[in-house]
Every structure is written in structure tokens, then in C-alpha cells.
Structure 1
Amino acid sequence: MRNRQFATGALALGVILFVDVLRVWLPGIITIFGQAASTPAELMGAFALAWFVLALAAPVLVGRLGAGPVTVTAGVVLAVARLALTAAPGGRIQLWLATAGLLAGLVWLSATATTTARPVPGLALGLAANAAGHALLDTQDLVWRGGWAGWLGSVALVALYLTALASRTATPHGSDPPGAPTGPAATAGSGDVASPYASGRAAGAGGVRAWLLAGPALLLAGMLALSPALARTGTSYLVSGDGVAGSPLWGLVPLPVAVAGFLLAALTRPAGGPARAVGPVALLAGAVLFALDRGDLLVPAMLLAAVGLGACLALAGAGTLDRPGEAGDDRRRGYAAAVGMLVFALGAVGYYSAYDLGYPNAAVPVSVALLVAVVAGTTRPASRTAGRPVPVRTAVALTALALLTPVVADGVPVASNRGGPPERLTVVAYNVRMGFGLDGRFDLSGLAGIVSRQRPDVVLLSEVDRGWLLNGGHDTLDLLADRLDMPYVFAPAADPVWGDAVLSRWPMTGPRTLPLPAVGAPTGAQALAVTLDLGDGVRTAVVSTHLQPPPGEGPVVQARAVADFAVGYAAGRPLVVGGDLNTEPGDEAFGEFTRVGLVDALAAARPLGTSPADDPRNQIDHVFVSPGLTAAGAVAPRGTASDHLPVAVTVTLPPR
């Protein structure tokens, strides 16, 4: 029993380290291997998938060298790579360190599978603890935090994992030798969380199916079911409604509920009879709601998916072997783990590459959820349908742990307008590339620093990511808003967690979003309009947008739509329009804004290059104002916290 507990702990801690590495490696595909959207999506996808295909050889390696040496070696490499990433300077070094950690993690997982027939407790605890830890860190990983706190947390996590790994391998046969009993006699009086798998028969088939679902479960947990960033984004939509999201009042409230539901469903003996279908149906329902691309459905989608995913893992792990004692179960489990992680890679790459290749991606989470549901729902249940569930003390402890996840009540600090409206506003427009700098590091400090030095009143952000797994699952907008101490309004473009935002020191009212025609562009686009209430009845309209040009053309159609929308929304009030417009002064798309009477606020400072950030030769980030406003002091401050430079300008309001 003691060895099984060490095995569960080692698997859970290993999952946490592995997900940490994935959160560095996945965005590295775009920000380091891919170069400013010039690297073909097919090439990036091939690079990503190649490592998962290579890991299919892991069971062969185990067969030749033995499970123990392979597990320990791969586990140590995973731990070292994870620790090294804390010190990585970015660039190619970071990418290859993360790739080494990825491959080591894949081999470790497959090797662990060969000696572990009951993986669900370790997998479930690892996924839940990782989600809770990410929430405690406010969705910013220890890897990116640096400083003594980042190092202390990283060293402690690695030390715990290596201790558990060493303890697990200190006794012969690991945790679950093939053919080991899994019935009540194996767990009686132990309080072991593996009790849902009580059966007098070998657990080979159940183990194979559970390991096959490890990769899909990791994908669905990170994309949907256990994502702290998605929880916060979902609550922010519930605050604002009308297709836009505001600074949330309830922060991460859905996450502890999702984590608790997931744990209890995963670690409790699954029901028999027709009730077995509840988990698969709940998972599919959550995936379908998520695929509808509606912000107000994110919270119910997350909660349904969390409980459904936990129940499906429990079903898959509770299966029995049709031919007990059959040789080869260990290798089949190893291949199942490797194939499951290949499903993870195909799902992750397939979902996000749709924005480059132009096919609909809503079917990806639904298809993966359907796979999980079918594998879990068709698992042959153990011969004994009755059995002891997880002990009450264990269930209570796990639920309490989940509920300790902080419920952040985000404040909405705004400047007082009781003294009357200001005479001028400083506006900053910035394409933040999901928070990743030119070196491929998640650089919130760099972004916040370059913006705050301009002392802005209004900030218009493009390429804002609020939870994409491919970018690490961060809520970049909320993290940046906290550092700038400014509330925000967010509008979706590609999907509910990727789009544009307005941050303001003054109260914002009347938000509206206009989806823009795609006209062949790979990523969706929109225009977000808000009204600044400056006091004494003075109001100024602000529009944030990010135009997406179709291949080989300018964004003329979108520019015309934004210009007309902005002028109509302002209805004669002072107006500011800005963002990454992907057009140069003098281009036809640029002329659409001047056609409606708007003035180039950066004209006096031209030429004013903004892209790429390390060699700004393209003038594609702009601010336009209505004729009654006077612009001065336009700059594009240098920095490499994004692949664009921000533009800043001070606008003097008309006299009252």
C-alpha cells in the first residue's frame, strides 16, 4: 500500500511538471520556431507532431532496457529540464530545453504506464493540483515569474517529485505489477484512493483504457474543464453580457467548483446501469457548449466538462480484463499512453492551426470529448458492481483542498470624475502578441512597463489571449490590467478567449462589438466600441480593433466596416479609433478612415515604424481621432516585449 501511495504521488507530481513544460513548449512553437506568422502552419504542425510520434517508441525502449531505468532516467531529465526553464533566457535555448522536457515527459509517462495499471488517482490528482496551483499563481506559471519566489517554488516542486520517484522505484516491481490483485483485499483498511477499481480480476483492460485517455484528458482539462483562465473569462462575460466581457466581479469562483466536481467524480466508484451514461453525456454537453463560441456559456461548459471528464476517467479505470493474467498488458498500457498523448497533440495543433489554415475548428473539442466518452462508456465494468467508494475523509479532504483555491474578487478601480472632465487623454495602442516577447518568454513586466511609462488614460490592446492552451492558458488581459491598475472591456475575435480590449482609468459605458467580415483572413476580427464617461456630461467614444488582411491584399473591406461603425457609434461625440490596422499610410485601407473624416493622430511623427519590434520599418499600428480633437506627442517607444511597438499620443479634448 505504501508503494502504491508513492506511485500515485509520483504520477501526480510528474503530471504537474509535464504540464508546466507543455506551457512553455506549446507557445514556443509559435513565438520561437514560428517567426511573425511567416513560418508555414504546416511546418509548425509537423515540428510539433514529430516529437509525439517519436515517443511511440518508448514501450520498445522499456522492453529492451527495463521499465525502472527508463522511468527514472526520463523522469530525472523531465525534472532537470523543468528547472532549467526557470533560468532559460528565451530563444532557441528555451525551445530546445522545453523540447527535451517534452520528449522526456512523454517517455516517462509511457514507461510509467507499463508498471501502473491503476493510473486514474494519480492522473486526476495531478490535473486537479495543477489547475489549483495555476489559479494560486493567478494563471502565471512559476517558470515565468523568476526571482526568488519562482526559483523556490520550482525547486520545491522538483524536489518533491524526485523524492516520490525515488521512493516509488525503491521497491521491486513499481506500483502495479501485471496481474496484481485489485479487489477489496488489496485496498481494505488502507484508505487508498484507488478503491474505485476494486475487482477480483486483473485490471489490464481498465488500465489500457485509462492510459489511452490520459492525453485527451490533459487536452480537455487544459482547454476547458480545469482552466483557471477560462473560469475568470467566463465570469467576466456574465458581468457584461451583450457579447463583450468586463472586469469580473467573481474572479475564479467556478474553478474550485469544477476541481471539486472533477475529483469526486474521478475518485468515486462509478455507478452501474443506465447511470453510467451520465458522465459521458455531461462531458459531451460541456464540449458542445464550448464549441458554440459564446462567452456566456463558458462557465456551464466548464462545470459540465469537469464533472463529465472525472466520471469518464473513473469509468475507464474501473474496467476488467477479459482474459485475466494475459501477458503483454504492460506494453499495451505503454502504447496506450503514447497514443493518447498523440491525440493530445493532434487536438491541440488541429484546433489552433485552423486560424492559419482556415477550416472550422469547433469540432475538435467535441471530437476529443466523444472519443473519451466512447472509450469510457464501452469499458466493461468490474465483476463486482458494488464496492466501497472513496473514504469520506478522503473525499472531504480533496474537496476542501479544491475549495482553498482563491476566489478572486476583481476590483474595478476608476479615476474620479467628480472634479470634472480632464482636458486631455493619453492613448496607447498596442498589439501584445498574447503576452510573449521576441525572445519567446511570457513578459508581463515588459508589457506593463512600456505601457505604464506613457502614463496612459486609455489603452487599446490587440491579440489579447485569455486562456488558449497553446499559449500556456494564461489570462493575459487580467494579468496586465492588474499591473496597470485599470479595468477593462474585452470583445472576442477568433473565439471567446482571443480578441481585443480597451482599458481605461475613466468609467466605460455602452460597450458594443461588431464582428468583421473575414474576407479570406485566417483569424476572426472585430471592432470594440466603448464610451468614456469623463464627468459633467462629457463623453468620448473609443474604438479598438485589429484588422486581418486577406492573403496578398489589404484589409480594405474590414477598414471600411470599422470606419463606418465607429462614426455611427460616436454619433457626433469626440472619437478615438486605434489598433493594429495592418495597413500603411497612403494605402487604400488607410484611406477608409480618412474618408469618413477621421484624422491621423500620428501624422506629425511620421515615419513611425512599429513592426517588427527589433527593426520597426512598417507603419501598421495607428490612432485616428475626430476633427475636434488635437493630437500631440506621438511616439512609438522601443521594446521587445511583443513583436510590435506600441504607439502613444496625447489627445486634447474640445473646450467645453
Structure 2
Amino acid sequence: MRRPFLTAAGIALGVVLLTDVLRVWLPSIITIFGQAASTPAELMGGFALLWFVGAFAVVPLLRPLGPRGVAVVAGVALAGCRLGLLATGGGQAQLYVASAGLLAGLVWLAATAVTGAAPAHGLVLGLAAGTAVHAAVGTFDLTWQGNPLAWSVIALLCLAFAVLLPGVTNHTTDSAPGPAAWFVVGPVLLLWTMVAGSPALAGTAVSYALGEESGIAGPAPGSALATAVLSAVSVGLLAAGALLPRPGVAVSVAAALTLCAGTAVFALSWGSGLVAAIPATALGLGLALRASGLRAGDPTTGTRQRGFAAVGGMTLFAVAAVLYYASYDIGYPNDWVPPAVAVVVAVIAGRPPYPRVEPARSWAPLPVAVVATLAAGLLMPTGARGTGTTATPGTVRVVAYNIRMGFGLDGRFDLAGLTAAIAARRPDVVLLSEVDRAWLLNGGHDTLALLADRLDMPYRFAPAADAVWGDAVLTRLPVVYTATSRLRAAGAPTGAQALGVVLDLGGKELAVVSTHLQPPPDDGPVSQAREVAAFARGFAAGRPLVVGGDLNTQPGDPAFAVFTDAGLVDGFANDRPLPTSPADAPREQIDHLLVSPDVGVTEVEAPRTEASDHLPVSATLTVF
């Protein structure tokens, strides 16, 4: 006899484990296989698609091999790889264990589809549970924590999944979902983890809405509660849309409108518009899932189509994610990708005939998921909010660091290494480049909030490539004024900006500009250097000035000369050579602090660490 809740719970746990594997696999493709963009994009794309091709090859074999047995074996392999990721320690082992886990997850998904199990209830429950768990760990995935608690939690999840596996596929029914119901799993998973169900994006949206100042985000009182509420509302809207008792034409139209509107706002927003994009996308996904629902069919026919549909939907997940994020390395418009995926979901969900009403009892845990998400959201890091002068009047310790979205040379998210490298310098001001606040490609972390929280330093964040990728200034010193200026791409695919912060040094003021220049292909960032120099001079307005960050230019280059010609002084001139990249064998001098003549620079350091692909640079600045 079929037990809907057990089926839904088993699928939900599988979705949680598969999502966790994807949060490791995606950044591993970039940082380990891609070696920070030194590998051609075509080769990275081919490697990624290879694992999906493998899953497609298995689908025709599912019927003769027995899909229930294959689902159990593949599910156990997925759980084993998820647990094994804790033990890899990064590098090639991490890449291939994550890849094997992905393949196992795809085969499990396809085999489960072939058996005739219905995905909708389990998918919604899994998405809600995944958001609650990711919020509870503060977006700092358990894989990267690797402590006894992480081992215990993941082991329990894997054990529960293994226990439920036989029950997911061991059922009898007079009908089965059509292929469309399984195809939407992949695109729905993408839009949920990228937009609607991302706690990191919720936290970033709140930091814009509550701490916004001229397009600059920062922590504000009530950030934690507001983030928790936004995440819980998103889960609630997903469940509410999926619970509608009578799906029909109106539901399909509402799904299309809200889903497309939410994803469009997400793609185009550079600030507090994200607060609207998240719940709209969540409601649209819930309505779309309800509209797709179960379409009665013979469980003994169409089995191969359901398997292919499940893998095909996940392939769309991969292709769309690559198309969206690769634009920041290759250079082409990408704001159409999320709405395009939304259109695919809406079209598939809106096709008649409309599904019959499903039993409500398998949805009972969803209110618990909403409450759990609200409680978990209160644990989200928001960064310190208070300020207080810690520096000697007129003297300030500065660190500039390109943190590569938080990933070390071993391909692991190295929050501890970053924190140690910065904290050891005892900084008053930290300038960060390549700050990621919610990219699914990098695991969906709010790297800035996590780092600011551990350093106990308030932050100011300015977007560069999109609303959640840019540069930041962290400081406990009182902030007098802030401003930001977006820089022209000039042929460089990744966006750039200049973030200015005026600090009170106890009677004296210092203008600080944090930037990350993006050179166009086969050229230096000369035009962006001119823009930054002009912005910095105007922003400082006669105050002592420091410009710092990853400038992607070396002393003697034309772009570097732009700054010195503008009256700035190479703060590291007396300590050259000072190579900072790559971190394991530094030979390029591309991370700098340039100062106005009324600022002295001493105690220069570029400490060795592999917490990023750059070394941090630090110095003590004295304002005369």
C-alpha cells in the first residue's frame, strides 16, 4: 500500500542531498578543474556535461535492470558521496567525489521517475528543508565546516535517506505523473536555489533595503529578523501556491505572471528590488508546481520518457547556470536567462489537462518547514553594526585582499583561512575584492556577512558584476560619508566599480577607495584606472586619500602610471618587489595601496597564505 508521506519524505531528503552535492560540484568545476579561469570555458563546459551524458546513457537500461533496485543503489551512492565530501580535503578528490555524487543523484532521480513516483510533494518539502538547513548554518555549508557536528548532521541525513529509499519506489498506483512533472524538477531547483530559496540572497536583499545608502549595502538594526521573515515568507508562498486545491487556467496564468516577473526583477535589480523578486519567484514556483501536478497515466507506459525528462530537466539546470555565470568571464548579456527558465517552467506547467486534487496529508510537514526557516534565519550572520575608534588618532592599519569568493587554492571554501589571514594583521580597515554574496555557482554563501561577522567589523558593500558580486570595505571606525561609481566595462566581461568611504580617525578624516579593475582581453585597465583616479580625487575633496585593491596592473604599466600621474604615491615603493599573485608562487605585483602625499606608509606586509589565489597586502598609514 502506498504511503504518500514516506514517498515525499524520501524524495525530499534526496533533493536536499543532491542540492548539497551541487553546492560543492559547481565551485569545484571553477576553482579546481577550471583553475580560476585558466582552463578554456569550452573544456570546462564539456567536462560538466559529461556527467549528464552519463546519466542519459543509463536511462535506457533502467527498465531491464529494474528501476527500484537501481534507485536504491544510486541513492546509497549519492548518500555515500555526500558524506565522503567531508573527508576529501579539497583538490582533485573533492572534484571527482562531487562529480560521482552528481551522477549518482541524476541516476537516482531518473530511476525514481521511472518507477512512477510523484515528485511534486517531495520536491516542495525538499526545497523548504534545504532552505531551512542552509539558513541554520548561516549559508556556511557543512561540507566546508568539517567539524564533528557537521559529520553528525550529514550522517543522520544520509542514514534517514537510506532507510526511506526502498519506500520511495516500492508502491503500487493506478496512475503515474507524466514526463513534464519530472522535467520541471531541474529548472524549479535552479530558480529556487538561485533566487527564491537562497538565504544568502535574502540577507543581501535586506542589507540593501535596511542599510542602503546611494546604492551601497550595509548591515542595519533588525537585519537578522528581516532576513528570517523574508526566507520564511518565501517558503510559505511556495507551499501556499503548491497547496491550491483547484488548479486550472487561472493558476497557470498566475504562475506565469508571478514567476516571470520575479525572475525579471532578480535579473535586473541592483539593490532593494531583490526584496520583491524573492517572494514573487517563490509564489510563481509553487503555483507552477501545482499547475503541473499529476496527470493521470498508465504507470507501465512512458517509463523511459519520465527518466529522460528527469535528467533533461537537470541538464537544463546545468546549462542555464553555466549560461548565466559564464557571461562574467566571457562577456555577453545574461539578464534573460532566469526569465527564460521561468518561461519554460510556466509553459510546461500550464499545459492542459489540469491535474486532479492530491491528498493533503502529505503536505502536513510544510508548516513546520516555515517555522523552522524562520527560526533558522535568526542564525544568519549579518555583520557587526556598532562603530568605535580603535586606531591611534591619525594612524590606521589597512588590509587589501582579493578573496576569490572565499575559495582557497585547494578549491575549498576557506572561511577560517581568510579570517586568520586578515585578523593577524589587526586591521582597522579591510578592502575586499571579488566578494560573493549569493552566487549559486559558488555554493550560495554570503561570504561578506560570514567574514564580517567573524571579524566583528561592520561593512559597506557596492555591487560590480551584479547585485551580489562586488567589493567591500570593513571597518569599526566611524563612517562619515560613502559613495560608489560603476566603471565602464571597456571590453572586460566582469563589471567593476569604485567604492568610497570617508572615515573619522579621531579628529582627522581619511578617504578610502576600494576597487577591482577588470582589464579587457589583451590589454591593461587604463580606461578604468582613469575613471577611478578621477572618482577618487573628487570623492576625497582635498582629504588624505588611499586607493587600494586588486588593480590588475603592475608598477611601470600604463594603467599604474595613471594613478601616479594623478598625484598618488605607490605605497609599496620602498618594499618592492612585492608579488601577490598567484598565492602559491607569487610573481605578479597587482594588489596595491596608493596614497596621497600627505599619507605615510610603513609596516608593509604580504603574508603567505593559500586561502585565496592572491596574497593579502597590509600597511600602517599615518595621516600627516
If the length of structure 2 is used for normalisation, what is the TM-score? 0.95
Match of residue 511 from structure 2: 541
- The one-letter code sitting in structure 1 at the alignment partner of 2:514 is S
Question: Sequence identity of aligned pairs in percent?
Answer: 53
State whether structure 2 residue 213 is matched by structure 1 residue 274. no
Cα distance in 2 for residues equivalent to 1:118 and 1:326: 11
Change (3 A) 1:559 1:409: closer
Partner of residue 356, structure 1: 329
Contact between 1:265 and 1:310, CA under 8 Å: does it hold in 2? Answer: yes
Amino acid at match of 1:348: A
**Corresponding residue for residue 271 of structure 2:** 295
Aligned-partner residue type, residue 538 of structure 2: G
Indicate the residue corresponding to 1:522 in structure 2. Answer: 493
For residues 9-39 of structure 1, what are the alpha-carbon distances to aligned partners after superposition, in whole Å with 9 as ceiling and x for unaligned? 1111011111111111100111000123211
1:193 counterpart residue number: none
Contact 2:579 2:589 in 1 (8 A): yes
Rate the CA distance shift 1:628–1:134 in 2: closer, same or farther, 3 A.
same
Q: Is contact 1:264–1:395 with CA below 8 Å preserved after alignment?
A: no
Find the aligned partners of 1:51 and 1:524 in 2 and give their Cα distance: 31
Q: Which amino acid aligns with 1:164?
A: L
CA distance in 2, matches of 1:80, 1:326: 30
Write out aligned runs for 1:504-519 (5 A): 504-519=475-490
Structure-2 residue corresponding to 1:226:
197
For the 8 Å contact 2:116–2:177, the answer to whether it is kept is no
C-alpha separation between the residues in 2 aligned to 1:346 and 1:526? 29
1:24 counterpart residue number: 24
Report what 2:85 is aligned to. Answer: 85
Distance 2:246 2:213 in 1: 37
Aligned counterparts, 1:8-407, within 5 A: 8-168=8-168, 174-175=170-171, 177=172, 180-181=173-174, 202-205=175-178, 208-238=179-209, 239-249=211-221, 250-251=223-224, 252-253=227-228, 254-318=230-294, 320-321=295-296, 324-325=297-298, 327-382=300-355, 396-407=367-378
| Contact preservation (8 Å) 1:260, 1:403 | no
CA contact (8 A) 1:59 1:111 kept: yes
Q: Which of 583, 596, 600 is the aligned partner of 1:630?
A: 600
1:312–1:376: 8 Å Cα contact kept in structure 2? yes
Q: What is the CA–CA distance in structure 1 between the aligned matches of 2:374 and 2:605, rounded to whole Å? A: 47
Q: Distance in 2 between matches of 1:625 and 1:471?
A: 33
Any idea what SS the aligned residue of 2:327 has? helix
**Alpha carbons of 1:343 and 1:359: their partners in 2 closer, same or farther (altered >3 Å)?**
same
**What is the alpha-carbon distance in structure 1 between the residues aligned to residue 460 and residue 2 of structure 2?**
51
Does the C-alpha gap of structure 1 residues 387 and 641 become closer, same or farther in structure 2, counting only changes over 3 Å? closer
RMSD: 1.9
Q: CA deviation at 1:489?
A: 0.6
Report the alpha carbon displacement of residue 278 of structure 1 after superposing the two structures with TM. Answer: 1.3
Matched with 1:495 is: 466
* 1:440–1:391 Cα change, 3 Å: closer
* Structure 1: distance between partners of 2:393 and 2:363: 60
Distance, in Å, in 2 between the alignment partners of 1:35 and 1:402 is 35
Could you say which residue in structure 2 is the equivalent of 1:653? Answer: 623
Q: Does residue 1:577 correspond to 2:528, yes or no?
A: no
Report the AA paired with residue 78 of structure 1. L
8 A Cα contact 2:125 2:366, kept in partner: no
Give, in whole Å, the separation in 1 of the partners of 2:521 and 2:364. 59
CA distance in 2 between partners of 1:326 and 1:112 (Å) = 12
SS at match of 1:528: strand
Distance 2:72 2:232 in 1: 33
Secondary structure of the 2:376 match is coil
Mean CA deviation greater in 552-561 or 397-406 = 397-406
Q: CA deviation at 1:267?
A: 3.3
Which stretch shows the higher mean deviation, 394-403 or 294-303?
A: 394-403
Do the aligned residues in 1 keep the contact of 2:112 with 2:168 (CA within 8 Å)?
A: no
Q: Which amino acid aligns with 2:540?
A: A
1:518-545 deviations in Å (ceiling 9; x for gaps): 1111211111111112344x32111000
CA contact (8 A) 2:452 2:458 kept: yes
User: How much does 1:109 deviate?
Assistant: 0.7
AA paired with 1:257? V
- Structure 1 residues 70 and 601: CA distance shift in structure 2, 3 A: same
Aligned to 1:453: 424
Counterparts of 2:86 and 2:364 in 1: how far apart (Å)?
Answer: 37
Which residue, out of 601, 612, 619, partners 2:571? 601
* Residues in 2 aligned to 1:354 and 1:524: alpha-carbon distance in whole angstroms: 10
Q: Using the alignment, how far apart are the partners of 1:448 and 1:211 within structure 2?
A: 42
Displacement after TM superposition at 1:224 (Å): 0.5
* Secondary structure at the counterpart of residue 281 of structure 2: helix
Out of 117-126 and 582-591, give the one that drifted further.
117-126
* CA distance in 1: counterparts of 2:55 and 2:168, whole angstroms: 23
Mapped pair 1:429 → 2:400: yes
How many angstroms apart in 1 are the aligned matches of 2:38 and 2:381?
40
1:58, 1:334 within 8 Å by CA — same for their partners in 2? no
Distance 1:392 1:343, change over 3 A: closer
Instruction: Name the amino acid aligned to 2:212.
Output: S
- 1:294-351 C-alpha deviation (Å, 9 max, x unpaired): 2211110011001110110111114x34xx4374222221111011001001101111
Q: Indicate if the aligned counterparts of 2:459 and 2:475 stay in contact, CA closer than 8 A.
A: yes
- SS in structure 2 at match of 1:550: coil
Letter in 2 for 1:581: L
Partner Cα separation in structure 1 for residue 391 and residue 373 of structure 2: 46
User: Distance in 2 between the 1:129 and 1:578 partners?
Assistant: 41
Please state how far the C-alpha of 1:455 moved relative to its aligned partner: 0.1
Paired with 1:328 and 1:484, the residues of 2 have a C-alpha distance of 58
What secondary structure does 1:296 align onto?
A: coil
1:382-434 Cα shifts (integer Å, max 9, x gaps):
3x6x78756996564444334333335846344424x9962310100000000
What's the offset of the Cα at 1:53?
A: 2.4
**Conservation of the 8 A alpha-carbon contact between 1:241 and 1:296:** no
CA distance in 1, matches of 2:529, 2:24: 35
Tell me if the contact between 1:554 and 1:583 (Cα under 8 Å) persists in the aligned partners. Answer: yes
Distance in 1 (CA, whole Å) between partners of 2:90 and 2:480 is 40
Task: Name the count of aligned residue pairs.
Answer: 618
- Between 1:446-455 and 1:45-54, the stretch displaced more is 45-54
Aligned residue identity for 2:487 = L
AA aligned opposite 1:68: R
Q: Is the Cα–Cα contact under 8 Å of residues 604 and 634 in structure 1 kept in the other structure?
A: no
- Report if aligned partners of 1:269, 1:388 keep a CA contact under 8 Å in 2: no
1:632 match: secondary structure: strand
Counterparts of 1:261 and 1:543, CA distance in 2: 41
Q: State the Cα distance separating 1:61 from its structure 2 match.
A: 2.1
Whether contact under 8 Å (1:256, 1:405) holds in the other structure is: no
Deviation at 1:563, TM superposition (A): 0.8
Aligned partner of 1:592 in structure 2 is 562
Q: Which amino acid aligns with 1:244?
A: I
**8 A Cα contact 2:395 2:505, kept in partner:** no
Indicate how the Cα distance of structure 1 residues 67 and 308 shifts in structure 2: closer, same or farther if over 3 A, else same: same
Q: Among residues 390, 400, 416, which one is paired with 2:388 in the alignment?
A: 416
* Structure 2 alignment gaps of length 5 or more: none
Deviates more, 1:114-123 or 1:562-571: 114-123
* Contact 1:6/1:165 (8 A) holds in 2: no
